[in-house]
Structures are given as C-alpha cells and as structure tokens.
Structure 1
C-alpha cells in the first residue's frame, strides 16, 4: 500500500480532549486523543456518527502528536438548570466541573493510505461540518493545513517522510516572536518537545490509552485501547527558525 503522512496544526485558545468524562466531571487529556482526532476528521469528511466502518477506517491511521506548547489546565464551573431527571418526572439543577487546556499548540501527524490522506487534506481545508476541538465553542485559531503560500514556512500538509521523521524535524509551530526568541536563548539540552506516538502493544515502552473509537453511535459509543510511547524530541535552531528564518544578534528574523 502506498503510504504518506499528513501533518496538522491543532491551535486554539481553548481545547478539550476528554478521556474519562462522566456525568458531572468532564476531564481533558494533556494532548489530542485518538478519538478526538478521529471525530475531527469525521466531521470534516461529513461522516455520519452511525457509520462504524468509516470511523474504523479513520481509527486505523497511525498517529503521532508533538506538543509544541504545553497548555494550562483550567476548570470551568458549569451550572445547567431545568435538566430532566432520569425518571422524566421533573427537572433539576446540575453543577459540573469541565476541564480544558488553555493556550496549547500541537502538531498532529497521521500516517496511512496516500489516497485517504489526500482526501483528508482536502476536507480539513473545506470541512463538511464545522470543526472544533472537543467542544463546539473551541474552534480552531488557525487552519489545520496552512495555505499553499505558507506551506514551505510551516510545513503542514502531505509528505512522503516517515511519521517519526516529521515529528523530529518539522518546523516548530510557535508563531509568537517573543517565545521564539526566548527559546533560542536556552541551551540546546533545555529545548525538548514531548511526543506521544502509536506503537505496537508489545513495544518495551508501551503505555495504554483507552481512547480508540469503535463507534460514535448515539447512546452506544464504544472505545478500545491503543498502545503509545511517550518520548521527547530536541528542538533545534533550524526547527525554531524554520526554512526561511535566520538568527541575528539573538533575535529571530522571519
């Protein structure tokens, strides 16, 4: 099978990637989950939530995440009134804690069939349904795939490189000049980006994540487990400066 990789920018002021959300406590993982990314792609593609075969096709994609900016964990104290009770005989007020990530930035890399990834690159630029990161109010702050004029600078989109190679060498997605300059002033051994990559279950450093979607059918959602390896990649001067930047006097010129 002809395979490729697809690099996506996941960038928003607020994001929520729930794993164990139940009832009055809605959690978030510290990086995009497999179920969250599959749901995002399914929305872009216009896939019906009852189409288990289409969900399975997306879930089979190999996924790697690089955390280009760790988010801050925040809590929203949420009150909902006039919520029907389980017996349907009255209403109540429900108070819940809803957690989300603020100011986070991620590089998500997918590997799979070239034909499928070509389609996904197209639909995330012209989605069938609106895209959001975990909650409908958490919309993207930037395109998931850069416009053609920005591709060379930021590198998102399709590639024939391996998933690991993209995670290790893709330009840093941070756009803030002050943050970029601050990072350039650090010693090389202080610049590390966390990564979470799909691996085989028998990998020596495998960790289990229960976020593999099997079905999004309303009232019958099902999830399985996947194996991931958590690691780090060095953030080099070239990655910080990008392909068209240079460093002069400690500042980054773009």
Structure 2
C-alpha cells in the first residue's frame, strides 16, 4: 500500500463465454483461468499501491470495479464476458492487524472514558444542586422554627404580664423553665452523651437571680445614660 503495508487481497471473478465467440474462447486461450488470474494480479498491484491501508478497506469496491473494467477490455477479445468481480478478503500483516486492534481499543477506551467523565460531571452537578436545595430547605425550616419560638415566647410574656409579672421576671422565668425542659429531654434519652452544666436545682435559682439582677443593672445603666445625655443637652442650650 501507499503507507508501506503488505496486504493479501482475495478477488473473486464471475465470467461466462460469449455465445457468438465460443470458437475464440476455446481456441485462442489454452488456460483462460490463468490468464484471468494474471490480469487480476496486474490490476490489483497497480491500484492498491495508490491507497493507504485504511482506504483499501473503505474503497475495496473501487478496486473491484477497476479489475472488472480491465478484464472486460482484455478478455472480450478471447470470447469471455466478465459478469462481476468481488474483493472478498483483505488480510494485512499480523503485526499490522494487532496494531489496528490496539488503535481501535484505544479509541473505544477514550470514548468510554469521555462518557464516564460526562456521567461523573452530571452526577456531581446534580448532587451539588440537591445539597444546595437541602441546605435552603433546612435553613428555611430553622428560620420558621425560630420564628415560632419567638412568637411563643412573646405570647408567654404577655400572659405573665397579665398576672402582674413584669417583662424581666417573665423572661427569666421562661429561661429557667426551658432549662428544666432541657434537663428532662436529656434524661429521657438512654444513650445521650450530652452534659449540661450547671444542672442542680440551686443552679436554676441562681440563674433566675442573676438574670433579674442583670436586667435591673442594665435598666439602671440605661437610666443613668439618659440622665447624662439630658444634662449635656441642657448645658449646651445654656451656652
């Protein structure tokens, strides 16, 4: 071939004797089969070296047409009509066939790897989308939960205010109640490894006292800051 590959080609030729030239077919050639074979070899050796190996496989029909055309022109003078020629087998060297198989295998592996990479990329994208949606819904759920907790606390403070308990004491009482609710939840779980400190009864009382004291102190500080601001404003007005 044109790319220096040795190849064996098998060509089948169908022919018949022309009725009007039976005499020529019988007397002009002693061995017509050998003559046809020689012409086939000559045409194949002339056509195949013009092609690379891949073209030999792809254009074997062109080789068959060239063989038929050459044979028809030559054998009609001897009383033979070439009906059809077929290239039935193309057999390259064994090492070339192994190389071609390796090339095909590499191409298929490349395509398979590409499809696998595309599938992995789609899987990662879809997983990321699902995770983002899960985070969004989780955040929305937490926000709704906190909103409902805030509404519940607001309602609790209003109820306690209705029985002459001020907002500071009500808030402290709610915190202490939640503290004991948390202790109850921890105690109801047999396999819990959560430790809540402090967790003694005195701790709840101390927590309540500390919260009331802190609220009172913060109110006093706020009042002092307001008085100081008013005093400065009066001094500026006098000036």
Which TM-score tier does this pair reach, normalised by the shorter chain? under 0.3
TM-score normalised by length of structure 1: 0.19
Query: Highest Rg: 1 or 2?
Result: 2
Structure number with the higher strand fraction is 1
